[in-house]
């Protein structure tokens, strides 16, 4: 495991799940991603390549956790954000309908 405080990362978007992303070590790609996750994820769609550094935060995830996860298991999975309860109510059938 390297102590280097940065990592060149490839971000992939899921073709099956909206707002699901995989952060990967650019040099290893999808290789370390388990088959079950690959099936759920669908065809990876490249979004961007970036240099992850502890001093440059990411919008929705802790960059230190992303780097640590990529170094430990080869990838970081970013799940879609939780839906706000009031949005879920819009799609729930009512008893009086």
Domains of the chain: 6-89 (3.10.510.20)
Q: Would you write out the chain's pLDDT as a tens digit for each of its 97 residues?
A: 445 578 999 999 999 999 999 999 999 999 999 999 999 999 999 999 999 998 899 988 899 999 999 999 999 999 988 876 655 555 555 555 4
CA gap 87, 53 in Å, rounded: 35
The pLDDT of residue 97 = 46
Q: Which of 84, 66, 51 is nearest to 21 (CA)?
A: 66
Collapsed DSSP state (helix, strand, coil) of residue 41: helix
Cβ within 8 Å of residue 56, ≥6 positions away:
63
User: Could you tell me the pTM of the whole model?
Assistant: 0.79
The pLDDT of residue 5 = 77
53 burial via Cβ count (<10 Å: 0-12, 13-18, 19+):
middle
Q: Which of 3, 5, 9 is nearest to 76 (CA)?
A: 9
Given the structure tokens 């290789």, which residue do they identify? 31
CB-based contact 42:15 (threshold 8 Å): yes
The pLDDT of residue 20 = 96
């Amino acid at each position: 495991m390297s102590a280097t405080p940065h990592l060149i990362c490839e971000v992939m978007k899921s073709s099956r799940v909206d707002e699901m992303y995989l952060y990967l070590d650019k040099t290893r790609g999808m290789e370390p991603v388990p088959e079950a996750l690959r099936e759920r994820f669908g065809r990876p769609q490249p979004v961007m390549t970036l240099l992850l550094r502890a001093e440059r935060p990411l919008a929705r995830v802790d960059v230190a956790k992303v780097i640590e996860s990529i170094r430990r298991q080869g990838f970081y999975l970013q799940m879609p954000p939780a839906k706000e309860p009031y949005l879920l109510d819009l799609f729930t059938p009512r008893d009086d309908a």
